């Protein structure tokens, strides 16, 4: 598996999307995980100057969806997220956050991911769980 090529492809797919708007970049890939990073700055702040929970959820959903895409036949199948739950543990004002999606269940029709979001000092920021459905292209 050429992880560099896969990460490049994921980052190319992000152009012109919310992932590009939030400066999300996919940076690491393994057999059961995918990691992306997102800068914490004014673009992702809520009015109190802290990382917006919605931006954190968008990061979690982005990495969870991309991770599922790695495990399917993209010619005949596609992924839709059907459930995301997220707990915000700690606030963050500036720096970088890293979201790592780890596979809990990889079935034929559903995938379940746990997404852990930490900062550059490995402080736990948020934890999410995401369920994706695998659908057939028509």
* Cα end-to-end span (Å), the chain: 28
The pTM assigned to this predicted structure is 0.95
Mean pLDDT value of segment 107-127: 97
Mean pLDDT value of segment 68-79: 92
How many Cα neighbours within 13 Å face the side chain of 60?
A: 27
CA distances from 138 to 61, 69, 135 (A): 24, 17, 9
Q: State percent of the chain over pLDDT 90.
A: 92
The catalytic position among 12, 20, 25, 61 is: 61
**Nearest-angstrom CA–CA distance, 23 and 95:** 13
Least confident of 71-75, 77-81, 118-122: 71-75
Mean pLDDT value of segment 75-79: 95
Q: How confident is the model at residue 85 (pLDDT cuts 50, 70, 90)?
A: very high
Mean pLDDT value of segment 111-135: 98
The predicted pLDDT at position 1 comes to 66
CA distances from 70 to 6, 32, 43, 52, 123 (A): 8, 10, 28, 28, 27
Mean pLDDT value of segment 8-21: 94
pLDDT at residue 131 tops 90 = yes
Q: Which of 91, 123, 122, 96 is nearest to 39 (CA)?
A: 96
Asked about 61 being catalytic, the answer comes back as: yes
The predicted pLDDT at position 32 comes to 86
Strand ranges for the chain from DSSP E: 25-29, 33-40, 77-88, 95-106, 110-119, 124-136
pLDDT at residue 71 tops 90 = no
Q: What is the pLDDT of residues 18-42, one digit of tens each?
A: 999 999 999 999 988 999 999 999 9
**Mean pLDDT across the chain, nearest whole number?**
96
The answer to whether 5 touches 13, Cβ cutoff 8 Å, is no
């Amino acid at each position: 598996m050429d992880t560099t090529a896969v990460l490049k492809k994921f980052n190319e797919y992000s152009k012109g999307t919310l992932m590009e708007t939030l400066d999300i970049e996919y940076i690491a890939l393994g057999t059961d995980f995918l990691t992306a990073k997102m800068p914490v700055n004014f673009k992702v702040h809520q009015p109190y100057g802290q990382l917006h929970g919605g931006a954190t959820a968008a990061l979690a959903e982005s990495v969870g969806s991309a991770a599922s895409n790695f495990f399917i036949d993209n010619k005949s199948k596609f992924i839709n997220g059907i459930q995301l739950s997220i707990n915000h543990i700690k606030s963050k004002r500036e720096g970088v956050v890293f979201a790592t999606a780890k596979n809990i269940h990889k079935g034929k029709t559903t995938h379940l991911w746990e997404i852990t979001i930490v900062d550059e000092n490995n402080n736990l920021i948020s934890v999410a769980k995401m369920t994706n459905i695998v659908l057939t292209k028509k």
